[in-house]
Structure 1
Amino acid sequence: MKNRNQLTDNLFILIKSLSASEKRQFSLFVNRLQANNDSKFLNLFKVLSAQKEYDEAALLKATKISKEQLSNVKAHLYHQILTSLRLNPSKRNIPLQLREQFDFAMILYRKGLYQQCLKLLDKLKSQALMYEEKNLGYEILDLEKIIESQYITRSRSNRADILIDQTNELTYLNNIASQLSSLALDMYNIFLKNGYARTDEEAQAVSRHFFKHLPEYDAEKLGFREKLWLYQSYLWFSFITQDFIACYRYATRWVGLFEKNPHLITVHPVFYIKGNHYVLESLYYLNRVEQFEKALDRFEEILGSEPIPEDDNIIVLSFLYVYANKLNLRFMRAQFSGGEELLETIHKKLDRYKDKIDDHHVMVLYYKIACYHFGTQEYTKCIFYLKKIINSKTTQIREDLMCFAHMLNLAAHYQAGLDYRLEALIRTTYNFLIKMNDLHGVQRAVIDFLKGLSNVSPLLIKRRFIELLETLKKFEKDPFERRAFLYLDLISWLESNIYNKPIAQVIGEKVAKRQAES
């Protein structure tokens, strides 16, 4: 049973998430019975819909519900809203429709109408398997076997053999899917917690863990669902070990599954959207600018296409992925001006969807916004967004993102001329990286460089920048040190100080050179 505070929060958030059409649907749903017209839960719904902030005193006064009754009325209203949404035509997706048909079959079975039940189950089983609802398919087979074993149905003579073979096949596939989905979740959890492997030892440990839990399978027998989990597992494993070519390979296979089975896009739109996002993320880390831009245009076309439903979950995911990648494209093309409208849109949407976005994704956007302001030399704004990450109390932020937020914060303070704060910041950053076990070559070199600046003559500062640049270039190709450059272009930052050029110009010249060579 939910405690009172949790129930209040959940109910209030649920009501505030309803669209105008969903509220109309709910009113029609509860008013279908005359007895509901003046019901307490309907009055509670009307009052909560009008409140901008939850006010229990005003609610009790307006509804005449006693404090003792309130908890039960809230629970009943919560249930009624979910029931209404389930019956809403716009929410009736394929899995819900299939589950409803199975409920009808159970009713027929309990009424003793076995032939009608079997006929419905046979049709339903074909649909369930077509839409990759294999767990439901297994439940259907179980009910078919119960009917066949308990009642004389005069079905085909080989009916029992067919049901046994189908059960064995689904048992195998469901077992493989279960193991692969657990492995994919495990890899994703490791990536969210730690980010990329920091050393060769970590990469080997992740590799041993991955292949130990990768189940044996017959590739010829795998269906859509099993391949989807397999590609996801390999994708996260490849991200952790920084094999971005493999990331791109498995992300494209993931998307390709849907393109070969377009009828499943409507059933699993979130997976289709995520697959396209990881194609973009892989291309970003591979720095394939032209491919990235075409893929981003294609992604926006896909999001506006008919198979993608317009529900709240899709709208929020689309925002996160499209706008994070729009910022990535600006970084890839060194476009550090004219982004005010883009940033304004991001802030508006973050505010609009604040109750539906987890802290990690918010902080990822903040880090990208901070990087953008670093590129435009707006260091105070850069520091403002980095502080939101550094001072965050949430445990959802990836450790490596937090580490590089500290590093960029140091660079931004130096560039902003806030030298008086550097010593304390260096000490805080150093202690944080030690605690995170993330003090490697790149971080140590930058901290040592900044730590020694206070004792260096202004005439010799450029020489120190050159020395640090030479040190960092040794790390640029190191598979476990180069991750620092995925978050912050330290090389371009140093070159901008050495050659007295804006960092945007330095990155822009590199982009132009790569395009000329390609």
Structure 2
Amino acid sequence: MTKEQKDNLFLLVKSLTKSEKRQFKLYVGRLDVNQNSKFLNLFNFLDKSKVYDEAAILKRGIVKKQQLANVKAHLYRQILISLKLNPSHQNIRSQIREQLDFASILYHKGLYKQSLKILDKSKDVAIQNEEKNLAYEIVELEKIIESQYITRSISSRADELTIQSKELSSLNEFASRLSNLSLQLYGIVLKSGYVKNEIESKEIKDYFKDRLPKINIQVLGFREKLWLYNAYLWYSFLLQDFKNCYRYALKWVNLFYENPQMITVNPVFFLKGNNYLLEALFFIGNKEKFQDHLLKFQDVTSGKKFPSNENVQALTFLYFNLNSINLYFIDGSFQDGVNIIPKIEDELNTFKDRLDDNHVMIFYYKFANMHFGYGNNKECIYYLDKIISNKSFLIREDLQCFARVLNLVAHYEAGLDYNIEALLKSTYKFLIKTNDLYEVQKEMIKFLRGLQDIYPQDMKKAFEKLRDTLRKYEDHPYERRAFLYLDIISWLDSKIQNIPIGEVIRQKYHKNN
């Protein structure tokens, strides 16, 4: 089973659609010599196999052991070439690159005029579609050709190309600096989540300020604005400034609606922008706007004009379903939320190979929280165990920490307190190890550890005391992050009032809205 997950060729073969397999065989079959080739026989064998089994390949006599690596590499390359020729994989970037290749061939044949004509048209297409890196490549080739294809207009042409090259280079450098900044901030989010203290907050603010280039919004195109909003969004997320998250995510999404052709060119960024917009609205707790944007997102992504490939399908599933779950958390509709879990989990198994471990574990954490809210504590523990037992370094530390805290509470609620002491010790040890032990968690562990010494008639007072202690942290700039992962206050209110958590959250939601 391990090899099934790790063998790249097997995963590529299994990702092919029926039409892609048919095209591959037609592509290979164009040469008679390929009809009974080793790489085609290997393809047919892998296509029929359920798991990757190297021993079975050798036993079948398809290829000798010494040849296997080379045959696999050749097959992998042939599949990629075949996919490249498939119209469904030919986006605007591949079309521009193809024209650039044609122009290069004509140049090397000395057909300068024909080459320049193709380059000029391709450059216009590249600039219109915000492919400025490709546009810069085209201008650089134009400069080389113009230096050999002498015309009377060479002086003005040289000035024109020089100015264009400088402008494109400047914008590309600006976009590169912003994309680097955005990626670094995203990496920090994945590694450790939101800032935890004043020192980290200052570090992030200084880091952002030092690396943010000077901005003249008037000269920025679509791509530069996109990276600018992206960088500000991650900066705001790290600082838990969710109103600014909403502000920049909305700018990001509106940028696409103002330039609808860019949705087709950059569908992944359109999907990501909508996801962050919905996340920000979830944290703000605005259900009305959340529903409106979720429905609009669904309408656009299910439309015939929206691009469809394996990557886009996986991301659409990921973002739509994560946010569909979040909808039920806003007002505590856990009963309705629990009902959608089986369908999402079935689809999740289909997309698992195309999603990273971190996102799969986020689904499990949300499933666990939903079951906890509805009172299905054993189901909650089942999903939390999938996170806690996962040793992948890709899993966010903050997610692992709060999964362990919720696990403690769920064990208490389920009456599984026979090993609570061992769980308390292991959780405490893990939080110290990851430097993620803060006042909210300390108070929770202290409370759970002392439960056995509290008389039943004093239990309500104990819950009230803990709630009052934790409430002072709700608006604390760094401690409040705990409540984003686990609504401890609502759980305590439910214990005090002896009503379901969902009812407590609904009451709070209606009071605030």
Per the TM superposition, whether the score is higher than 0.5 is: yes
Q: Which residue of 1 aligns with 2:110?
A: 112
Matches within 5 A, 1:122-201: 122-155=120-153, 157-201=155-199
Give how far 1:156 is off. 5.4
Q: Which residue of 2 aligns with 1:216?
A: 214
Q: Which residue of 2 aligns with 1:34?
A: 32
Q: Which residue of 2 aligns with 1:96?
A: 94
Q: Does 2:479 match 1:481?
A: yes
Distance 1:310 1:341 in 2: 28
Give how far 1:61 is off. 4.1
The residue type paired with residue 463 of structure 2 is: F
| Secondary structure at 1:188 match in 2 | helix
Distance 2:43 2:159 in 1: 54
Matches within 5 A, 1:183-262: 183-262=181-260
| Secondary structure at 1:443 match in 2 | helix
C-alpha contact 2:338 2:374 (8 A) present in aligned 1: no
C-alpha contact 2:377 2:411 (8 A) present in aligned 1: yes
Give how far 1:12 is off. 0.3
Q: Which residue of 1 aligns with 2:380?
A: 382
Distance 1:437 1:108 in 2: 61
Residue of structure 2 aligned with 1:431, choices 425, 429, 432:
429
Q: Which residue of 2 aligns with 1:290?
A: 288
Give how far 1:134 is off. 0.9
The residue type paired with residue 102 of structure 2 is: F
Distance 1:462 1:252 in 2: 44
The residue type paired with residue 98 of structure 2 is: E
C-alpha contact 1:108 1:117 (8 A) present in aligned 2: yes
Q: Which residue of 2 aligns with 1:493?
A: 491
Q: Which residue of 2 aligns with 1:16?
A: 14
Distance 2:69 2:321 in 1: 41
Distance 2:193 2:178 in 1: 21
Residue of structure 1 aligned with 2:54, choices 50, 53, 56:
56
Give how far 1:72 is off. 1.1
Q: Which residue of 2 aligns with 1:511?
A: 509
The residue type paired with residue 150 of structure 1 is: Q
| Secondary structure at 2:393 match in 1 | coil
Give how far 1:307 is off. 3.5
Distance 1:64 1:506 in 2: 65
The residue type paired with residue 67 of structure 1 is: K
Distance 1:7 1:241 in 2: 37
The residue type paired with residue 216 of structure 1 is: K
Distance 2:487 2:6 in 1: 46
Q: Which residue of 2 aligns with 1:371?
A: 369
Give how far 1:205 is off. 1.1
- Out of 341-350 and 463-472, give the one that drifted further: 341-350
Q: Work out the percentage of aligned pairs sharing the same amino acid.
A: 54
Q: Does 2:355 match 1:357?
A: yes
Q: Give the RMSD, CA atoms, in angstroms.
A: 1.5
C-alpha contact 2:439 2:479 (8 A) present in aligned 1: yes
TM-score (structure 1 length as normaliser):
0.96
- Out of 40-49 and 28-37, give the one that drifted further: 28-37
- Post-superposition CA distance 1:135-159 (Å, at most 9, x none): 1111111111111112324445410
| Secondary structure at 1:475 match in 2 | coil
The residue type paired with residue 64 of structure 1 is: I
Structure 2 residues without counterparts, runs of 5 or longer: none
Quick one: structure 1 residues 154 and 12, their matched pair in 2 at CA, closer, same or farther if it must change by over 3 Å? Answer: farther
C-alpha contact 2:226 2:255 (8 A) present in aligned 1: yes
Q: Which residue of 2 aligns with 1:312?
A: 310
The residue type paired with residue 435 of structure 2 is: N
The residue type paired with residue 293 of structure 1 is: Q
Distance 1:8 1:367 in 2: 25
Distance 2:100 2:176 in 1: 22
Distance 2:5 2:272 in 1: 31
Give how far 1:63 is off. 5.2
C-alpha contact 1:276 1:299 (8 A) present in aligned 2: yes
C-alpha contact 2:338 2:371 (8 A) present in aligned 1: no
Distance 2:138 2:376 in 1: 61
C-alpha contact 1:47 1:63 (8 A) present in aligned 2: no
TM-score (structure 2 length as normaliser):
0.97
Distance 1:117 1:456 in 2: 85
Number of aligned pairs? 511
Distance 1:44 1:434 in 2: 51
Q: Which residue of 1 aligns with 2:420?
A: 422
Distance 2:255 2:67 in 1: 51
| Secondary structure at 1:309 match in 2 | coil
The residue type paired with residue 213 of structure 1 is: R
Distance 1:470 1:248 in 2: 31
- Post-superposition CA distance 1:416-436 (Å, at most 9, x none): 112222211111111221222
Q: Which residue of 1 aligns with 2:84?
A: 86
Q: Which residue of 1 aligns with 2:341?
A: 343
